[in-house]
Structure 1
C-alpha cells in the first residue's frame, strides 16, 4: 500500500497548472490572480469630505462654542462628483457631502450635527482643527502601490479593490471546472421511486458541493450503470468541458467494479490501495491531460478522499499552496482505537472554551454511515502508528467546511 503522503505527492506532481485567462471582474470571482496589480493613481485621488457637513477654514471657527456660535455665509453646495466650486475664501463656508472634493482654501469639515443646518447662513457650535473629517489623497493607496498580489484568490474585497483602481479585466487562473459522476446500476436520482435493491445517489450531490466549497466549479453528471462502454463513453464525453473529473464507486476488487475494469487494462489510471481509513481503494490518472480522481463508493470514504487528495490538487491547479483543510490541535474526550499502519480519519465534534479545543468522536464510524458525517464538523486525524489513543491526548483535527 502507498502511504497517504505518497499518493498525494504523486497526484500533485501530475496535475497541470491551469493557464491564465483574461476575464471581466465578475467572471474572475473565485479565480486566482495571475498578475500583479498596481494602483495607477492614489486612492483617494483627491482630498475629500468624510462627512456630510460644511467645508470651512479652521481658523474661522476656532472660537465656536455652544454659548457663542460662529455664523458664516453659505456660498453653495458641493456634492460628490461636482467640479463647480474650486476654492473657498476665509470667512465663507459651503455645504459639502460625503465623498465630495474639498475646495482649495478649506482645511476642515464641520459635521452637520454641529450646526443648525442652515442653507443661506449657518450657525456652528463647535470648533475643529485643520484636517478634521478630511480624507487625504493617497491615504488609502499610493500611486504605484501593489494593491492585489499575484497568487491571490479573488473574493469580494479583492474585486472591489481592483475596481477601485480602474481595472475592468484581470489575468486569472480560473476556477477549475470539475465534473462529478457516480457509477452503479443500483443508483437512482433523489425524488424517484426505488425498486428492491436500489438506493438514491448521494455521492454526486455531496462531492459536487464539496468541489464548490473548495473554490472550483462543480458540475454533476447523471449517474451511469455498470456497463463498461457506457461508462467510458460518458467519461470521454466530459473531457471537452472538464478541467478535472471525479468518479465515485467501481474502484475496489469486485466483479462489477467498472471504473477499475475500464481504465486499469489501458494503464490510463493507476489503481491501488492507500494506507488510510476510510478510503483505502483509490485511483488517479490523466485522460488526455485531464486529471481523473476515482474515489471509493462508500459516501464517507468518498468525502474523506476528496478532502485529503482532491481539494489540495484543485488548489495546486490554480497555483495556490496545496493545503489541506484548516487543522488545529484538540484534546480527545474519549478513548479511541485505530488499525495499525493506517492513517485514520474519524468524524468528530469540536467544542471550544477560552481558546482551548476539545473533540469528541461521533457515534457510528462506518464508511457507509452518512448521518455521522452530516452531523460532524471535523475529522480527527490519527497517525499510522497510533493504535490506542486515550482520552486527554492531543490530536490533530481538520475542520470541515461549515
Structure 2
C-alpha cells in the first residue's frame, strides 16, 4: 500500500487506559438483560433515558448561535421602555381628534418636531400636536399618532381629518417585553434571529449547555481512508464523515478516532481512549447479524449492553450500551442505514445531552409511485426519492454509497400495516430539514 496510507494506519490513542469490565447493576431497568428486538420508539426512549447532561457555561451571544440555553433568559426592563410611534405623522391626545372628518377637520396647534433618538422636548398641551417619525418617542400625555395622510400642515396648526383612539399607531413602553418576562426558556436552541433579539434587549451573555463531544469509530479490515487508494476487495471509509457532518448540524462536536482494522483488540483500545475523552461514542461497521458483531462483544467487555437489534424492516442491527455512564452506539456499515438510524435515534441522544427538546423531522405529502409492501409483524422505514410529487423506493443493495444522494426522505409504515398501494397519499419524512421543537407564545394584549 502507499506510504501515506500506511502512516494513516498508525492510530494515536492515550496509553495506559484500562476501563474495568463491570456487570449491569441489579436495580437497573435492564437488569433482566438487553432488549434484543426493539422498535424505533423503544430505542429512542432508551437513548433519552441514558443520555448524560453536558455542563452549563457562559458565552457571549455572538458565539452562541446553535447552542441550547441552560437557563431561562429574562427581560431585565420594559422594552422598548418608552411609548413610540409606528407611523410618520403627528403625536396627539386622542380625545382632541374626536369628531374629525374630511369635511369638518379638527385644528390642532403645531408645537414642533420630535427628532428620533431624542426625548420629546415638552409635555403636549391641550389642543396641540407634534410632528413625529416612525420610532420616535411620544411626548408625555400624548396617547396616539395621526398618520400624515390624515393630516394637513397649515403653518401654525394642523388639520386632522380622521379621529384616532388611544394606542393607535403606538407601541407601548412594555409591549415588546415586560420586566421579568421569560424571553427564551431553558432548552431553547438559539438561532440567528434570537441573537438579534438578545442584542436588542441588551443581553450580551447567556447560560448555555456545552456542545457534547461525540467520538466516532469505524471498523472493518476492508476499509481504507477516504483519501486512500482501495485495492481489490477494499472500500473507502465514508461513515465517519457522514456521522461527523450530521453531529455538527445537530450541534455536537465530532471527534474521529479512525479505523479499527485489527478486530476486537484494536476496537477495544480505541474505544477506551474515546470514552475517556468524549461524552458518547458512535461505532459504525461493527454491528452485524452474525459472528462479526464486534461492537457488542467489546461493549460487553467494558460495560453493559442495553439494546441489541431492532424489529424494523429492512432489518437493521443496532447496539446501545454504556461504559462508565457514557452511551455507546453501535451502527451497521451500510451508509444509508447509518444515516437513517442517526436521524431517527441518535439525533435524540445529542439533543437530550444538550438539554433541548428533540427536533422532529418535517413531513411532506406525496403519492406512492408503486406499491410499498409490508409484513404486519414489522415496522418499516423505507428510503424514497421524490419525482413530481410521487415517492419511489430506492434500491437498497448493500454498499451503494450513491443511495444517500438520491434519498429525499423516509416513508414510515407502522407495525400492523400491510403496506401502501400505488396512488395512495403518504407522508414522507424530509431529511433536508428539521422542525422547530416548540414555539414561544405570542405576546398577549
Pairing 1:311-390 to 2, within 5 Å after superposition: 311-321=347-357, 325-326=361-362, 332-338=368-374, 341-349=377-385, 360-386=391-417, 389-390=420-421
- Report the counterpart of residue 355 of structure 1 in structure 2: none
State how far apart, in whole Å, the 1-side matches of 2:78 and 2:43 are.
Answer: 49
In 1, Cα distance between equivalents of 2:130 and 2:360: 57
Conserved 8 A contact 2:218-2:240: yes
Equivalent residue number for residue 35 of structure 1: 71
2:218 is aligned to 182
- The structural deviation recorded for 1:297 is 0.8
Partner in structure 2 of residue 248 of structure 1: 284
Q: Partner of 2:123 in structure 1?
A: 87
Matched, 1:221 2:252: no
1:66 and 1:227 mapped to 2: Cα distance? 94
Q: CA RMSD in A?
A: 4.0
Aligned counterpart, 2:238: 202
Are the equivalent residues in 2 in contact too, given 1:205–1:220 (CA < 8 A)?
Answer: no
Asked if structure 2 preserves the Cα contact closer than 8 Å seen for 1:278 and 1:300, the reply is no
Cα distance change of structure 1 residues 341 and 323 upon mapping to structure 2, 3 Å threshold:
farther
1:121-140 to 2 correspondences below 5 Å = 126-130=161-165, 131-140=167-176
CA displacement at 1:296 relative to structure 2: 0.7
Does the CA-based 8 Å contact 1:47-1:137 persist in structure 2? yes
Which is further off, 104-113 or 296-305?
104-113
With 319-328 and 218-227 compared, the bigger mean Cα shift is at: 319-328
1:279, distance to aligned residue in structure 2 (A) = 5.5
User: Runs of 5+ in structure 2 lacking a partner?
Assistant: 1-35, 434-445
Aligned residue among 9, 13, 18 for 2:54: 18
1:176: how far off?
A: 2.8
1:39-91 Cα shifts (integer Å, max 9, x gaps): 343333221111344434553797585998969656344212x2362423356
Q: Measured at CA, do residues 149 and 267 of structure 1 come closer, stay the same or move farther in structure 2, by a change above 3 Å?
A: closer
Instruction: Pick from 78, 81, 87 the counterpart of residue 115 of structure 2.
Output: 78
Q: Which residue of 1 aligns with 2:430?
A: 399
Correspondence 1:271-310 to 2 at 5 A: 272-278=308-314, 280-310=316-346
Give the TM-score taking structure 2 as reference length. 0.72
Q: Contact 1:54–1:94 at 8 Å: present in 2 too?
A: yes
Q: Distance in 1 between matches of 2:419 and 2:285?
A: 31
How many residue pairs are counted as aligned between the two chains?
394
